[in-house]
Amino acid sequence: MPEKKAAGGGLRERKKRATRAALAEAAVRLAAEHGVDQVTVEAISAAAGVSVRTFFNYFDSRDDAFVVIDTGISTRMRDAVRHAPAELTPLDAVREAIAAELAEAEQQHELWNLHAQVLRKAPHLLVRSLGAHMSDETALAEAVTARLRSGSAEETTAGASEEPSAPAGCETARQDLDLYPRLLVAVARTAVRVSMEHWSARPEERRFADVFRETFTMLAAGLPAPTPPD
């Protein structure tokens, strides 16, 4: 969930992001150890080294702390697509934006695994997480739309300086988006899930990055049927 108050820039903004991240990590680790129902706002705040009052500067409720680890992902991906080199196709721009975030997530692999476990054991949180992901998907489809309309990375960058990205929760309704950007983003997100599942079943065979790239190469080629082995 987004922070309740508009954030400043520079050092202050970094401190706010760090505090929110510490609270989310504390919530996930406590829930993984004790179960969601046993975790209180007081315990989360204490584990993160802040007051309960500070907790409510970032989250409206206890459950909000469990839903999303990093609220900045949506904005970073949206900006990456909008500002990607002009020679990249929309699919390639989305692929590179996702790849950059996956590289960051890999540094916190253990925490993301714990987060997934917590969500699986708490269906009400899983539903809320899916809702947040749908919102992120809409925002990314908006970025693809902006890229298609701009025609060049320079125009996109110029437009971004005049019209800052809308905050999470203020995006266009999904039904107002054209079919192509919606389909592209939905397929790309599915490709990430499938590539991760495929790699997880046989991690000793290939690097995840190679499986990820191959998956998007197949998409870019229109998913031609593989050639049968001789």
Question: Average pLDDT for residues 146-165, to the nearest whole number?
Answer: 55
Please give the pLDDT value at position 11: 85
How many DSSP H helices and E strands does the chain contain?
11, 0
Highest mean pLDDT among 72-76, 87-91, 100-104, 122-126: 87-91
CA distances from 118 to 9, 68, 89, 165, 227 (A): 32, 11, 37, 31, 41
Q: Is the pTM of this model over 0.85?
A: no
Question: How would you class 149 by CB atoms within 10 Å of its CB: exposed for 0-12, middle for 13-18, buried for 19 or more?
Answer: exposed
Contact 56, 35 (CB under 8 A): no
Q: Is 166 helix (H, G, I), strand (E, B) or coil?
A: coil
49 CB-contact burial (10 Å; exposed 0-12 / middle 13-18 / buried 19+): exposed
Q: Do 20 and 120 fall within a single domain? A: no
What would the pLDDT profile of 12-64 be if each residue is shown by its tens digit? 888 998 999 999 999 999 999 999 999 999 999 999 999 999 999 999 999 99
Are 153 and 181 members of one domain?
Answer: yes
Specify the CATH number for the domain of residue 62.
1.10.10.60
Considering the domain architecture, whether residues 135 and 202 belong to the same structural domain is answered as: yes
Residues 203 and 98 in one domain: yes
At 187, which CATH number? 1.10.357
Please check whether residue 230 lies inside any domain of the structure. Answer: no
Nearest Cα to Cα of residue 68 among 190, 188, 168? 168
- How many other C-beta atoms lie within 10 A of the C-beta of residue 22? 16
Q: Is 83 a domain residue?
A: yes
Same domain, 61 and 126: no
CA–CA separation, 47 vs 45, rounded Å?
A: 5
* Domain-located, residue 228: no
Q: Same domain, yes or no, for 92 and 119?
A: yes
pLDDT in tens, 205-226: 888 889 999 999 999 999 989 8
Domain membership flag for residue 225: no
Q: How many domains does the chain have?
A: 2
Same domain, 121 and 187: yes
Tell me: do 96 and 206 sit in the same domain: yes
Q: Which domain holds residue 61?
A: 10-67
pLDDT on residue 6: 40
Between helix 208-220 and helix 90-106 the angle, nearest 10°, is: 170
**Domain final residue pick, 47, 67, 87:** 67
Mean of pLDDT over the chain: 84
Say yes or no: 63 and 98 in one domain: no
